[in-house]
Structure 1
Amino acid sequence: MKMLCPCFLFLLFILFFQAVSKIFSAGLDITEMSGKSNEHYAAFWRAVQEMWLKLYGSNMVTIAAINGSSPAGGCLMALCCDYRIMADNPKFAIGLNETQLGIVAPFWFKDTMINTIGNRATELSLQLGQMYPAPEALKFGLVDKLVPEDKVQSAAAAAMSQWLSVPDHARQLTKSMMRKPAIDRLVKQREADINNFVSFISKDSIQKSLQIYMDRLKQKK
């Protein structure tokens, strides 16, 4: 049996990440940030950091096949990839909408978005907690291409073939050169970032905001 290229295996992980119909990723689990101990919050945030460091810093080619809405952490995962293809459906939206939940995107979320769409667009997006429908996401550069819903996976596979045609050592070095400053910044401030998160998320006012948001979600079901 012919072995798949590791890069293509990673593509498959992205393609089949969808767990809920019409949602690529609902983002971070809010229940992990509500009503827990400080030790739990610290362990949770360290795991989120590790996910970002591995995905954003991966030397493999990563293609996000976005087949549904992608808020907050889901948007971050997509932004970590080298190329983003989204289903051309205005009902699907993507963005870092943390302020709508009463929380703040950390500096490395911000850096990832700035590296993708620029400073001013990121400032507007983060302050307003904007979720961009697919056509607007393409306009702002949050995604690179829109295709019909039933073509997302095949388009991602075609894009992967194009990326893999580039000499890998040159591509890897270029990717590292572009992303290393942002990665190094988190690595140097990792413990401080965890402490800041725990201090912020454990505040009564923040816990209240998260509970209100979760109650609203339950009412929609």
Structure 2
Amino acid sequence: MSSLIETRDHGNVREIRLARPPVNALNTELCRALIHAIDTAIGEGAHGIVLAGNPKIFSAGMDVPYLLSLGGNRHALMDAWQAFFGAARALADSRIPVVAAIGGHAPAGGCVLALCCDYRVMARSPDPARPFGIGLNETQVGLVAPEGIQRLMRRLVGPHRAERLLVAGEMVPSERALELGLVDELADQDQVDARALAWLENLLRLPHHPMLQTRAIARRDVVEAMSPEFIQLDRFIDAWDAPDTQAALKALVDKLKK
């Protein structure tokens, strides 16, 4: 297993933890390691997966400094984004349930991974004045969320609310995320993983095959949303070099350096 992924078994549940400090930025290697970890868990007979991140941050999304370092290398850019959407697709298409244990912030790509899971448990911030946030903030950094990703958001919060959140690139505080249905449950930070595991264990007590077959039917729209037809990766990469996109991404990197 890659050093970027940590795993732990809880009976027939496999915990998969992103482990790329400090913020689990999603580069090609981490995304491919996540795909491998999901495939391995299923292949080794796990009945469910808990996907977790670091305390205070689930994942900061794509590794923007790494992506910008690729310059105009379209092949490398395509490879990086294929790895990311492949990881999201592996979660969406998993034939066993997956719960996101969101111990902190989950912007952009981190939010996408969570949206592909069956259930989302998010941490309450220990400081109400500085709540943890989750959201698809792509427009704020000069990107367009593909149709498939927008479908995932609409599935949870409804069309009009999704429109408002997506167009503004809004990061939603955890308490409001629960109200909107963007997450399913809140827990104290040190209880997020335990609550995710408890929800999954309760689900797995149901008659196994009827539960899985019903789940597969109910989640067909999630799988469809992640299909190439609704991601249109070539168009996404074409837009990468747009002047306002590059300016916004470079401003983000400058902000991260401070």
Q: TM class, shorter-chain normalised?
A: 0.7 to 0.9
Superposition pairs of residues 65-80 of structure 1, within 5 angstroms: 65-80=101-116
In 1: Cα distance, 2:177 partner to 2:111 partner:
11
User: Does the 8 A contact of 1:7 with 1:62 survive in 2?
Assistant: no
Q: TM-score, normalised by structure 2?
A: 0.75
Aligned to 2:60: 26
Q: TM-score, normalised by structure 1?
A: 0.87
> Which deviates further from its counterpart, 136-145 or 40-49?
40-49
In 2: Cα distance, 1:49 partner to 1:155 partner:
27
Question: Identity of aligned pairs, percent?
Answer: 33
Distance change in 2, residues 1:188/1:214 (3 Å):
closer
Q: Which runs of 5+ in 1 are unaligned?
A: none
The alpha carbon displacement at 1:35 in A equals: 4.2
Amino acid at match of 1:214: V
In 2: Cα distance, 1:149 partner to 1:184 partner:
33
In 1: Cα distance, 2:119 partner to 2:182 partner:
10
Greater share of strand: 2
User: Does the 8 A contact of 1:33 with 1:201 survive in 2?
Assistant: no
User: Across the two proteins, how many residue pairs are aligned to each other?
Assistant: 213
Amino acid at match of 1:86: M
Amino acid at match of 1:120: H
Aligned to 2:21: none
The alpha carbon displacement at 1:185 in A equals: 5.4
Distance change in 2, residues 1:112/1:5 (3 Å):
farther
Superposition pairs of residues 14-163 of structure 1, within 5 angstroms: 14-15=51-52, 17-18=53-54, 21-36=55-70, 37-89=73-125, 90=128, 91-163=131-203
Q: Which runs of 5+ in 2 are unaligned?
A: 1-8, 17-47
SS in 1 for 2:120: strand
Superposition pairs of residues 177-192 of structure 1, within 5 angstroms: 177-184=217-224, 186-189=226-229
User: Does the 8 A contact of 2:101 with 2:121 survive in 1?
Assistant: yes
Distance change in 2, residues 1:195/1:95 (3 Å):
same
Q: Which has the higher contact order (CA 8 A, sep 6+)?
A: 1
Amino acid at match of 1:52: A
